[in-house]
Amino acid sequence: MVAKVALDEQLLKKLQQAGELRVENMDGVPIVLMTVDARNQLQQAVYDDSDLTEEEMLRMGADQLNDPADWGAPEMDIYDTMEGIDLKSNGSA
């Protein structure tokens, strides 16, 4: 869904300069509006794991898989089931 938002010239200029604009809706809920370029840069920074090998990424997540307060919690099994992960191997190859 794409929402249409009206910005005055001053707010539009701030959005274009900073790449993002922090606002609140009528109920006071904080919202961040971003330009597509800023969003793409953010996604690249967050998801660009090219510096890590697959082995390093798996090692980083291994503790979370067995932690009963994290992904190892019993109620988290539903996500493994949805992704088709073999629960006996705990997702490891």
- Taking only the tens place, the pLDDT of each residue in 18-70 is 888 888 888 888 888 888 888 888 777 777 756 777 777 677 777 777 777 77
Question: What is the pTM assigned to this prediction?
Answer: 0.43
pLDDT higher than 70, residue 92: no
Measured distance CA(71)–CA(78) in Å, rounded:
10
Torsion on CA atoms 79, 84, 90, 93, rounded to nearest 10 = -140
pLDDT band at 93 (very low <50, low <70, confident <90, very high): very low
